Amino acid sequence: MGRRWLLRRLPPCDQLLPVMSDSLDHELPFHGRLILKLHLFVCLRCSRYLNQLKLMRAVIRARSSKMLAEGSPETSLSREARERIKRALNSQLND
Amino acid sequence: MSTEPTVIAKPVPDPGAWVDLHGDYLYRYANFRLRDATQAEDVVQETLLAALQAYEGFAARGSERTWLVGILKHKIADCFRRQGRERAIESREGEEFEHQELFMREGEWAGHWAAAVQPQNAHLGPSEWHANPEELVEQDEFWDVFKNCLSPLPLRIASAFTLREVDGLESEEICELLNIKANNLWVMLHRARTHLRRCLELNWFNQRMAD
């Protein structure tokens, strides 16, 4: 049971979660990198967890680009807002 | 072609045209980040007013839209900062979003995923998502769920998450914007991710598997 043996000697999953999150924000110190790598090697659920965080990031960024590129009525300025902004701009321009 | 600066007549701003040309773009940009239509409209207005005041400084260097988005980013950051100040006291910074209930409390596997240790807890995840990223990006229903999952987070945490995951800002920039320490930011991001992941799993991915 090499997998269980190693898993028991590493910090448990709940302590690895913040480390996995951190790994998406900055480079981990050597020790953290090593522990994480070993843990992921033997822990299916944590591997899933990290992949899911990465998936969330990827789809959020892709969605954000898509929303910017494509217009639709509900993602456009309302007629009222448009008029209000124009009025505000014109009154400042004429000051 | 000479590279000498050409003399350009002093540009006259046409703010009405800005609204027509860039209004929707700026609005979408703001709305995706602030997740509030009224606030997004306000911030577009503030941006264009500021642009009008700064117009001579701009003087047709580069793209008008890029210039306006640059101003908009600062205005959105101001919103995030204000939210951070208003909410800092009332929120306990979202400790409850770490979902400790998904882990074994005691025994030799304490701290490990309960789902991995006890077959009867398999539903506690992380489950297999069978996700197709290209499809998810297109599915509006998924993004409704996403928005609902984001809403219980304290605004400050949601803002930090947005700046990091949507805009891809580096930690130092976010810390400066929100006036927080890096360690604090990383804890906030961790909580946002843990909560969102679980919420999406429960309300989207596990639902789809049952289909």
Q: Does B90 touch chain A (CB under 8 A)?
A: no
The reported pLDDT for the residue numbered B89 is 46
Q: Which residue has the higher pLDDT, B83 or A63?
A: A63
Name the pLDDT band for B19 (thresholds 50, 70, 90).
Answer: very high
Q: Is 0.90 exceeded by the ipTM?
A: no
Residue range B97-110, pLDDT digits in tens: 888 899 999 999 99
> How remote is the C-alpha of B29 from its chain's centroid?
11
The reported pLDDT for the residue numbered B164 is 95
The reported pLDDT for the residue numbered B33 is 85
Q: Does A1 touch chain B (CB under 8 A)?
A: no
> Position of tokens 């006036």?
B179
Asked if B51 contacts B17 with a C-beta cutoff of 8 angstroms, the reply is no
Which chain A residues have a beta carbon less than 8 Å from that of B133?
A: 55, 58-59, 62
Q: Would the pLDDT of B88 be above 90? A: no
CA separation, residue A3 to residues A7, A9, A12 (Å):
6, 10, 13
For chain A, 95 residues long, the average pLDDT of each consecutive 10-residue run is 84 96 96 96 96 97 89 80 92 82
Q: Would the pLDDT of B36 be above 80? A: yes
Percent of chain B with pLDDT over 70: 86
Mark which residues 63-92 of A lie under 8 Å from B by CB: 63-64, 66-68, 71, 75-78, 81-82, 84-86, 88-90, 92
Average pLDDT value over all residues in chain B = 86
> Position of tokens 């130092």?
B172
Which of left, alpha, beta for B168 (phi over 0: left; psi -120 to 50: alpha)?
A: left
The reported pLDDT for the residue numbered A12 is 95
Separation of first and last alpha carbons in chain A: 79
> Per-residue pLDDT averaged across B149-177, rounded?
90
The reported pLDDT for the residue numbered B91 is 46
Compute the nearest-CA separation of A81 from chain B (Å): 7
Q: Would the pLDDT of B1 be above 90? A: no
Q: Does B188 touch chain A (CB under 8 A)?
A: no
The reported pLDDT for the residue numbered B80 is 83
Asked if B34 contacts B79 with a C-beta cutoff of 8 angstroms, the reply is yes
Q: Which chain A residue has its CA at the smallest distance from B195's CA?
A: A53
Name the pLDDT band for B16 (thresholds 50, 70, 90).
Answer: confident
Please state the length of chain B. Answer: 211
Name the pLDDT band for B74 (thresholds 50, 70, 90).
Answer: very high
d(CA B16, CA A56): 38
Q: pTM for the full model? A: 0.82
Question: Which residues have CB under 8 Å from A12's CB, separation 6+?
Answer: B103, B109, B110, B111, B112
C-beta atoms of B44 and A92 within 8 A: no
Side-chain-side CA neighbours of B38 within 13 Å: the count stands at 0
The reported pLDDT for the residue numbered A23 is 97
Average pLDDT value over all residues in chain A = 91
DSSP one-letter code for B204: I
The reported pLDDT for the residue numbered B9 is 53
Q: Would the pLDDT of B8 be above 70? A: no
Which chain A residues have a beta carbon less than 8 Å from that of B136?
A: 59, 63
Mark which residues 17-36 of A lie under 8 Å from B by CB: 17-18, 21-22, 24-26
The residue type found at B9 is A
C-beta atoms of B190 and A81 within 8 A: no
C-beta atoms of A86 and B19 within 8 A: yes
